[in-house]
Structure 1
Amino acid sequence: MAGEQLKSVAGLLLVLNFCMYTIVLGIGGWAINKAIDHGFIIGAGFDLPPHFSPIYFPMGNAATGFFVVYALIAGVVGIASAISGLNHFRYWDVDSLPAAASVATIAWTLTLLAMGFAWKEIDLHIRNARLRTMEAFIIILSVTQLVYIAAIHGAASRRRA
């Protein structure tokens, strides 16, 4: 009985995390596109400006580049986690758990890394609404991904007993 309740919780979190990681990828893609379109042009006769950063973003602050890059990496691994989790959800046995749990744990740790840069970006204050949305999603995902990992492990331990 408890295993079925944890399975429904894991399924709900799986769908929620997939949607949120997709939105993070969309906003991160927009930020990368804007940075490429409005970045510094390097060519013949151009000198690099002082304090030039290769991950310069015209919106946001000094932490924006790091935050966007790590959020994109966390988003891609999070989507992979959702795909692996869907396979585990379909079979829901001990044999499919290690793959789902390991990818989910990697996605969670990368999300925590991106969350650290999100906190730094919040601390530096200058950012737009899309970046604030991405920060909020990353912070929420750091919690929901952890609860998802706990749900799939809890259901597996109950099934063995």
Structure 2
Amino acid sequence: MAGKGVQRIASLLLVLNFCMYAIVAAISGWALDVAMDRGFTIGPGLALPAHFSPVFFPIGNAATGFLVIFALVAGVVGAAAAIAGIHHIRTWNSQSLPSAASSGMVAWALTLLAMGLACKEIELEGRNARLRTIEAFLIILSATQLVYILAIHGASPTRTRS
């Protein structure tokens, strides 16, 4: 019976994480598009501006470029990990646990990396509401993804015979 309760909690966290990862990926994609549209333009002499940075973002601050790139990767990997988690929740056996757990841990590690960059961006200030949304979601996701990983490890799934 305890397994069903943990399975429900894991399902709820999985849906929450999937939605939040999709939002993080969408907003990060928007920010990347803005950077491409408003980025540096190389003149006819093909000379780069004096302080050119390949991760220059016209919105936000010095940490925005790194945050957006890592948040986009974390969002896509997190959404993919949620899809692996859906399979595990549906079957809930020991054969599906390793793929769900390993992809969940990779997504959590990337989320922690992006969260660290979000903390740096918060420290530097000067960002808009969409970037604040990414920061908040990454901080929340770093906790909820860990709880999801602990939940799927907490209850031992039933072992099926092949």
TM-score band, normalised by shorter chain: over 0.9
Stretches of structure 2 that go unaligned for 5 or more consecutive residues are none
TM (norm. structure 2) is 0.95
Deviations 1:61-102 (A, max 9, x none): 000000000000001110110000000011001110000000
Superposed CA RMSD in Å reads 1.2
- In 1, distance between residues paired with 2:25 and 2:151? 25
Give the aligned residue type for 1:82.
A
Deviation of the 1:43 alpha carbon: 4.5
Give the aligned residue type for 2:54.
P
Does residue 54 (structure 1) correspond to residue 44 (structure 2)? The answer is: no
Deviating above 2 A after TM superposition, structure 1's stretches of 4 or more consecutive aligned residues are none
Deviation of the 1:26 alpha carbon: 0.8
User: For 1:59-70, what aligned pairs fall within 5 Å after superposition?
Assistant: 59-70=59-70
Deviation of the 1:155 alpha carbon: 1.2
TM (norm. structure 1) is 0.95
Give the aligned residue type for 2:136.
A
Contact 1:85 1:100 in 2 (8 A): yes
User: For 1:3-82, what aligned pairs fall within 5 Å after superposition?
Assistant: 3-82=3-82
- In 2, distance between residues paired with 1:74 and 1:108? 8
- In 2, distance between residues paired with 1:106 and 1:146? 11
Give the aligned residue type for 2:12.
L
Deviation of the 1:52 alpha carbon: 0.8
DSSP-derived class of the 1:41 partner = coil
- In 2, distance between residues paired with 1:120 and 1:3? 39
Stretches of structure 1 that go unaligned for 5 or more consecutive residues are none
Does residue 88 (structure 1) correspond to residue 88 (structure 2)? The answer is: yes
Deviation of the 1:114 alpha carbon: 0.1
Contact 1:81 1:100 in 2 (8 A): yes
- In 2, distance between residues paired with 1:6 and 1:80? 21
- In 1, distance between residues paired with 2:26 and 2:104? 20
Deviation of the 1:46 alpha carbon: 4.0
- In 2, distance between residues paired with 1:156 and 1:70? 33
Cross-structure match for 1:134: 134
- In 2, distance between residues paired with 1:101 and 1:78? 12
- In 1, distance between residues paired with 2:81 and 2:11? 13
DSSP-derived class of the 2:155 partner = helix
- In 2, distance between residues paired with 1:24 and 1:39? 22
- In 2, distance between residues paired with 1:156 and 1:127? 44
Cross-structure match for 2:105: 105
